[in-house]
Structure 1
Amino acid sequence: MKFYRHKRSINTVGDLFDLYFNESSYKSNDGLLFLIDLVNFFRPGNPKTESVISIEPLLQFLTENLQQKKLLKDHLTELLHQRKFSRVLSDTGILRDSDFIYEVRQRLFAKILPFQPEKDTLEFVLNQVFFKSTDPIWIARIPFEELQKLFDILGFENGYNSVEEKSILSEVMNAMGLISQRMSGRSMENDVIKMVPEYEELESPFVAFENELYTIHRRIKKGENHYIDSEDINYKQLIIFHKQCEDYVDKAFSNITKFGISIKVNQSLLRIRQQLQRVKVLISTLVVNKEIDKKNNVILLVLRLIKYNCHKNNVRQLINESTQLISYEITQHTAKTGEHYITESKSEYFSMLKAAIGGGFIVGILCVIKLLLSKMDSSDFGHAFYYSLNYSIGFIIIFLLGYTLATKQPAMTAATLIKALESGMKKHTKNENKHSSFAKLFARLFRSQFIAFVGNVLMAFPVAMLGIWLIDYFFDYNIAFEKSAKLLNDLSPITSAAILHAAIAGVFLFLSGIISGNISNKNKHNQVYYRIKEHPVLKQNLGIVKTNAIAQWFENNWAGVVSNGWFGIFLGSTASVGAFLGLNLDIRHITFASGNFALGLYGSDFIVDLSTIVWGIIGIGLIGFVNFAVSFSLSLGLAFRSRNIPLSELRFLFSSTWAYFKKRPTAFFFPVKDK
């Protein structure tokens, strides 16, 4: 191979040694260049496709060339001597701050312009030599026996002969001490303690862990042997305290269903968990049961240092870890709400129809109002404001009256389905049991969604028609005359971007569900219900009964009011944002599509081609399907992720649902009794 810095090709390890150790120019070069090129020599083009990476050519060359072996040993000794690395162990790859956005921003910036530490640190060497995020992958595929052989050939010290400053053991113990102190301080913050009231009267396990760790460090520094064995009483006690610390964090996370959780607290707990994992790994470095453990521990420590440093700017892992538990709590809320949207009996089925008819009635009025607002002489921002206000007020009224907007259901019910699947996975060992239960529940969901569609569409159409007729009758003005062609064309999937716009509406439906769950979680974490209930001013002026009623209303309705308000803003402002950006952005919602179809027909005096009517009806159906499919798919994916259920389950769920549909298709549209 040919290295970009060199004019000649480097085909063997010997060529590399000849270049650096036999040329007079070596002393004038950066001492890291040889190590960089040596690593680059073995680094594969695509590490993920390689099962084994062998360094046997290097081992053979060093065995056969004793002079070159001595030069390499002296070079590495000089290069790595007394380089600090405790900060790599204590900081790298661990959350630096409880501010999630700040952490993401810092890591993204570091990917573009990596942080470079002082040149006397080991982190600087790692940054220069192992600078690719895939390096830990191929290094882990080097046979451990070859690494042991390299260690022996070069005659490295095992690292347990000294505990002086900047020695291997000193750096490891400094990192452990720093981590334990940080954990103790973070675990005593008020917001963290609030998550684990069970520990209020107990001694902090983190303080006990810190004290026991200090005892072990003092023994190692003053003892003849600078290590401990696995039978050591202090070591066993340290492991017990570490387990108690893990239980503390696990208990805090399990309490989110009671107290909710904020991003800041979530990040604090994640940081403590990461520090516990890191210090557990470092504890193993201090344990030596056999003489060979000394060599193995040093090799493993080097591998970990490389891995930690390469993964320190991993944004995907940060986002996954930071959002999983919060998304779980959000989907827990939506799952509880979604239970009300899945019908089982005939009475529930027809109650859903009545609620959908009520929702369709209000949407029909909203369609007429929006058409009137479109005639106002206003800017794009003005139209966005008035449309958003119209939608938001309408959706909030639908919610408070207990009516149903059909497409609001998938974002809620997806979490309910996954909750049922999760429960089934715990109860049943056979796949067919848990998947068949899911299929039956999905059939109930689908027929509930179907009858909600029917109620919305069948009522929105006549209400919108009646509204425009009344305006025409009393004011002799057909308000849809100028826009009739556009209203009808916007429904056609072949002459407009109706499908894309329906997908955009599906995304907003999903987001409104997320907002609802997030608001509920925040209210729970901030104890809003309890604060209102015990508010001294409200109790003195309104009385205890009314104050309790206000608190209860807030507990039951506020998340829904906010999410419906935002859903209205999303729908009302999309077209204006699209116009501002010069993009074809808009929304299509099945219930509004039905109302607009009525307005378009009336506006054209019912003089419409048959094809326009047919494509309009088909378009309404497709819009509803895309609304459902997009919002349900996104919500299902979030629910899967929040519960750590593998996506491979989807294949079994689909096949089980399809089998149930072929067996009982009517169950997907009408209430039937299970045999």
Structure 2
Amino acid sequence: MHLFKRKKKEKSFCEKVLENESAYDVTTKEESLHFLIAFFGDLRPPKNEQHLADARMKDMILFLEAHPSFVSRLQQAILVQLINTRLEGAFTESGIPVSSGFWDELMGKLKHKMLPREQDTNDFVYVLDRVFYRKNDHVWIEAIRRATWISFFELLQFTLQAKDPRLTEHLIDALTVLSFQVANNGLEKEIAGYIAPIHPIQENPFLLQSRLLHELQQEKNDPYHIREVVNRLKLVLFEIENEILHIREHQDQRGTSIRQSYLLLILTARIERMQILLDTIDNDDHFDIGRFVDLFKLLVRNENLKNSIRQFISQGVGYIAYQIAEHKGQKGGKYITTTRRDYLNMLVSAMWGGLIICFVAIVKNILSKLHYAYFWQGFWYSVNYSAGFVLIDQTGSTLATKQPAFTANAVAVSLDSKKSLGQPDLQSMAFTVAKVIRSQTASFVGNLIIVFPGTYLLAWAYHQIIGRKLVSGEAAFRLLQEQHPFQSLSLLYACNTGVFLFLSGIIAGYVQNKIRFSNIAGRLAHHPGLYGSTSAQKRGWWAGFIEKNAGAYAGNISLGFFLGMAANVGKIFGVPFDIRHITISSGNMAIGVYGLGIRAVPGHYLLTVFLGVLGIGFFNFLVSFSLAFFVAVKSRGIQLRRYPELIRIIIRHFFKKPLSFIVPPRGAGQQ
């Protein structure tokens, strides 16, 4: 067993105990604590071998099976700690925020990060902190498979059954605190106002569980009655879990908030711990060790990360991010083509979007001739961009660079741990990736085949009407140079655009979610101040329009201001900061070529600039898609390392059907 391979003169703690058991007594609380610290110290892998934690635990199980006397000593050490410490803190506080709101808890964590709380040596949480004292202990604890942990606790015959009266009192006290907290959470308006309608003959399950617990306390000396009440209480907790599920399932229609997500997170944790405690005190000789293992790993993780601001924020806003991603994922479906008819429709839609961008590019260059202060120049650029993006959205046209922020979320649905049971169909996801790439290609092609000739034609029309070119000479050459991949920072600026495209998608999702959760449309339709001036029909129309379009308007306007203000913010602060957007860059290229004269531009230089425009589009897509996909998988609890074969499957699919990444297969409706 490699677990005990050490230097020649150094013996493991387990070996020392076997050699002289009398020297390692576990009858007192302090002695048993030192025993547990040393035992798990033997089990703890070196920092660079944490991937071997599961193998070390299996070796330890083999060792324990061969030495029953050591098992008895380990059992006693654990029992002494359970009986002589308070368990309430571990069950009711560890990993569960104690403040009533997200921001209160965040401020509390900031305070305790600078000056940690004083620990109570009589609290079981103190035992956890002493035994698993390293801040990365949760890493190797979680690296051990669940089945291996179950085997370990089964070997210890660890059922946590409440045979000792003192242990029973601790467990019931913890259960009482959790019950009151669950009832209080259930009466919060963010929960009570969103649960399924309760019929008159029903009782609110959040209140019913509290009443049943009071009944359990009154009859705690009657084993038969305890089992009866516990079974009823478990059914009520199951109802509460269904209420939580009901709220989450309807968040895509009703939206959510950080506070609601925070309360649901807390409720779920408290219900889970109440289930474990009820499983302990029901005296039915059945104990779910798997559930206990999950709690054990969670407690160690919580104690290691209890002052982690990053962990708390990630956990607290996870469901908000999920709902934003969900909104974008639903919209992303319309950007993914399956059939050749869909593909043709995408191409035509992108061509209309390209036509609108032609006018945006011309107007932007006209505005550049007006000598405003940097801020106001950026403001009018932003208004121009915003108007163009809103017009594209309202006409049902397509802008290629807006797709990645939405299609990334649609792709992530294939791996969604909240929506799919078991192993995701990775082959199906490869088909989805192929659909996304060919849809993106169609929109890029549709935009570009209109933007360049269309803008060139508009630049010619401007020349004929006004009598002079829109740009000429050095200004025209600068428009080409700004798209050149080597003579400018265009590819870096394209990455900035990718970030802004991603952020505008987040803003669109957030606003749409907020509109739904706050019922803005319903409140506007019944606004008392509008009764005298507008009809019910007109109020209803405005309410429906806002509910349907507010998110899209917010996303498009924010993107317009991101792109319009970027260069001028860079000028204000004297830093090289700008954006490059493939369709606008294509329009600028066309204006520059017309300004210089197409015959005056060397062919190789023109080709290089064109390739630079394509490079701009590539980085627009790559950055926007990557950021959106990262948020989507994180908010859904997806760990990509679980699917190492994913990239291989996509590459295999590409070599098998390369054309499916460019155009839909003939007669195929699914690939």
1:440–1:660 Cα contact (<8 Å) kept: no
Aligned to 2:369: 372
Within 5 Å, give how 1:647-662 maps onto structure 2. 647=640, 648=643, 650-651=646-647, 654-655=650-651, 658=654, 661-662=657-658
In the TM superposition, what is the alpha-carbon distance from 1:500 to its structure 2 partner?
Answer: 2.4
Label 1:415 to 1:122 Cα distance change in 2 as closer, same or farther (>3 A).
closer
| Correspondent of 2:236 among 234, 237, 241 | 241
Question: Larger deviation: 349-358 or 623-632?
Answer: 349-358
Within 5 Å, give how 1:13-52 maps onto structure 2. 13=13, 40=41, 42-46=43-47, 47-50=50-53, 51-52=55-56
Q: Which amino acid aligns with 1:182?
A: Q
Aligned to 2:663: 667
Aligned to 2:190: 191
Aligned to 2:5: none
2:497–2:581 Cα contact (<8 Å) kept: yes
Q: How many residues align?
A: 635
Q: Which amino acid aligns with 2:545?
A: W
CA distance in structure 1 between the partners assigned to 2:556 and 2:79 by the alignment: 64
Does 1:252 find its partner at 2:247?
yes
In the TM superposition, what is the alpha-carbon distance from 1:211 to its structure 2 partner?
Answer: 2.1
Aligned to 2:405: 411
CA distance in structure 2 between the partners assigned to 1:296 and 1:399 by the alignment: 51
Label 1:660 to 1:100 Cα distance change in 2 as closer, same or farther (>3 A).
farther
In the TM superposition, what is the alpha-carbon distance from 1:250 to its structure 2 partner?
Answer: 0.7
Aligned to 1:619: 612
1:510–1:632 Cα contact (<8 Å) kept: yes
Does 1:361 find its partner at 2:358?
yes
Question: Larger deviation: 140-149 or 586-595?
Answer: 140-149
2:508–2:552 Cα contact (<8 Å) kept: yes
TM-score, normalising length: structure 2: 0.78
Does 1:512 find its partner at 2:504?
yes
CA distance in structure 2 between the partners assigned to 1:40 and 1:493 by the alignment: 57
In the TM superposition, what is the alpha-carbon distance from 1:327 to its structure 2 partner?
Answer: 3.6
Does 1:569 find its partner at 2:569?
no
Within 5 Å, give how 1:467-486 maps onto structure 2. 469=463, 473-474=466-467, 481-486=473-478
Aligned to 1:206: 206
Aligned to 1:497: 489
In the TM superposition, what is the alpha-carbon distance from 1:543 to its structure 2 partner?
Answer: 1.6
Aligned to 2:480: 488
CA distance in structure 2 between the partners assigned to 1:126 and 1:203 by the alignment: 39
Does 1:589 find its partner at 2:584?
no
Question: Larger deviation: 402-411 or 605-614?
Answer: 605-614
CA distance in structure 2 between the partners assigned to 1:400 and 1:143 by the alignment: 56
CA distance in structure 2 between the partners assigned to 1:10 and 1:274 by the alignment: 43
CA distance in structure 1 between the partners assigned to 2:251 and 2:543 by the alignment: 21
CA distance in structure 2 between the partners assigned to 1:303 and 1:557 by the alignment: 45
1:406–1:453 Cα contact (<8 Å) kept: yes
CA distance in structure 2 between the partners assigned to 1:568 and 1:588 by the alignment: 13
In the TM superposition, what is the alpha-carbon distance from 1:95 to its structure 2 partner?
Answer: 3.3
- C-alpha root-mean-square deviation of aligned residues, in Å? 4.9
Aligned to 2:523: 531
1:260–1:522 Cα contact (<8 Å) kept: yes
In the TM superposition, what is the alpha-carbon distance from 1:356 to its structure 2 partner?
Answer: 1.8
Label 1:56 to 1:548 Cα distance change in 2 as closer, same or farther (>3 A).
closer
Aligned to 2:4: none
CA distance in structure 1 between the partners assigned to 2:595 and 2:639 by the alignment: 51
Label 1:667 to 1:91 Cα distance change in 2 as closer, same or farther (>3 A).
same
Q: Which amino acid aligns with 2:650?
A: F
CA distance in structure 1 between the partners assigned to 2:114 and 2:42 by the alignment: 25
Label 1:484 to 1:99 Cα distance change in 2 as closer, same or farther (>3 A).
farther
Label 1:575 to 1:657 Cα distance change in 2 as closer, same or farther (>3 A).
farther
1:48–1:137 Cα contact (<8 Å) kept: no
Query: Cα deviation per residue 1:72-112 (whole Å; 9 max; x = unaligned)?
Result: 999996x9984434122101111344644554565566567
Aligned to 1:87: 89
CA distance in structure 2 between the partners assigned to 1:48 and 1:30 by the alignment: 31
Does 1:280 find its partner at 2:275?
yes
Does 1:130 find its partner at 2:132?
yes
Q: Which amino acid aligns with 1:263?
A: I
Does 1:392 find its partner at 2:386?
yes
Aligned to 2:303: 309
Q: Which amino acid aligns with 1:48?
A: H
Label 1:170 to 1:516 Cα distance change in 2 as closer, same or farther (>3 A).
same
Aligned to 1:52, the other structure's residue is in SS state helix
CA distance in structure 2 between the partners assigned to 1:82 and 1:103 by the alignment: 30
1:356–1:455 Cα contact (<8 Å) kept: no
Label 1:104 to 1:428 Cα distance change in 2 as closer, same or farther (>3 A).
closer
CA distance in structure 1 between the partners assigned to 2:547 and 2:294 by the alignment: 53
1:578–1:584 Cα contact (<8 Å) kept: yes
Aligned to 2:26: none
| Correspondent of 1:269 among 260, 264, 273 | 264
Label 1:219 to 1:442 Cα distance change in 2 as closer, same or farther (>3 A).
same
CA distance in structure 1 between the partners assigned to 2:289 and 2:395 by the alignment: 72
2:95–2:299 Cα contact (<8 Å) kept: no
Identity %: 25
Within 5 Å, give how 1:128-167 maps onto structure 2. 128-136=130-138, 138=140, 160-162=163-165, 167=166
1:439–1:660 Cα contact (<8 Å) kept: no
1:83–1:122 Cα contact (<8 Å) kept: yes
1:421–1:438 Cα contact (<8 Å) kept: no
Query: Cα deviation per residue 1:268-298 (whole Å; 9 max; x = unaligned)?
Result: 11211111112112222224445x9899999
Question: Larger deviation: 336-345 or 359-368?
Answer: 336-345
In the TM superposition, what is the alpha-carbon distance from 1:190 to its structure 2 partner?
Answer: 1.9
Question: Larger deviation: 275-284 or 107-116?
Answer: 107-116
Label 1:158 to 1:581 Cα distance change in 2 as closer, same or farther (>3 A).
farther
Question: Larger deviation: 566-575 or 336-345?
Answer: 336-345
In the TM superposition, what is the alpha-carbon distance from 1:514 to its structure 2 partner?
Answer: 2.1
Label 1:148 to 1:261 Cα distance change in 2 as closer, same or farther (>3 A).
closer
CA distance in structure 1 between the partners assigned to 2:589 and 2:475 by the alignment: 11
Unaligned runs of 5+ in 2: 1-8, 24-29
CA distance in structure 2 between the partners assigned to 1:456 and 1:217 by the alignment: 76
Query: Cα deviation per residue 1:554-575 (whole Å; 9 max; x = unaligned)?
Result: 2232221111111122223334
TM-score, normalising length: structure 1: 0.77
Label 1:34 to 1:583 Cα distance change in 2 as closer, same or farther (>3 A).
farther
Question: Larger deviation: 136-145 or 397-406?
Answer: 136-145
1:335–1:419 Cα contact (<8 Å) kept: yes
In the TM superposition, what is the alpha-carbon distance from 1:243 to its structure 2 partner?
Answer: 0.9
Q: Which amino acid aligns with 1:658?
A: F
Aligned to 2:163, the other structure's residue is in SS state coil
Label 1:470 to 1:299 Cα distance change in 2 as closer, same or farther (>3 A).
closer
Aligned to 1:179: 178
Label 1:432 to 1:464 Cα distance change in 2 as closer, same or farther (>3 A).
same
In the TM superposition, what is the alpha-carbon distance from 1:508 to its structure 2 partner?
Answer: 1.7
Q: Which amino acid aligns with 1:211?
A: R
Label 1:101 to 1:365 Cα distance change in 2 as closer, same or farther (>3 A).
farther
Q: Which amino acid aligns with 2:45?
A: P
Question: Larger deviation: 535-544 or 656-665?
Answer: 656-665
CA distance in structure 2 between the partners assigned to 1:385 and 1:30 by the alignment: 71
Aligned to 2:244, the other structure's residue is in SS state helix
CA distance in structure 2 between the partners assigned to 1:256 and 1:48 by the alignment: 39
Label 1:509 to 1:135 Cα distance change in 2 as closer, same or farther (>3 A).
same
2:471–2:592 Cα contact (<8 Å) kept: no
Label 1:57 to 1:601 Cα distance change in 2 as closer, same or farther (>3 A).
same
CA distance in structure 2 between the partners assigned to 1:439 and 1:301 by the alignment: 37
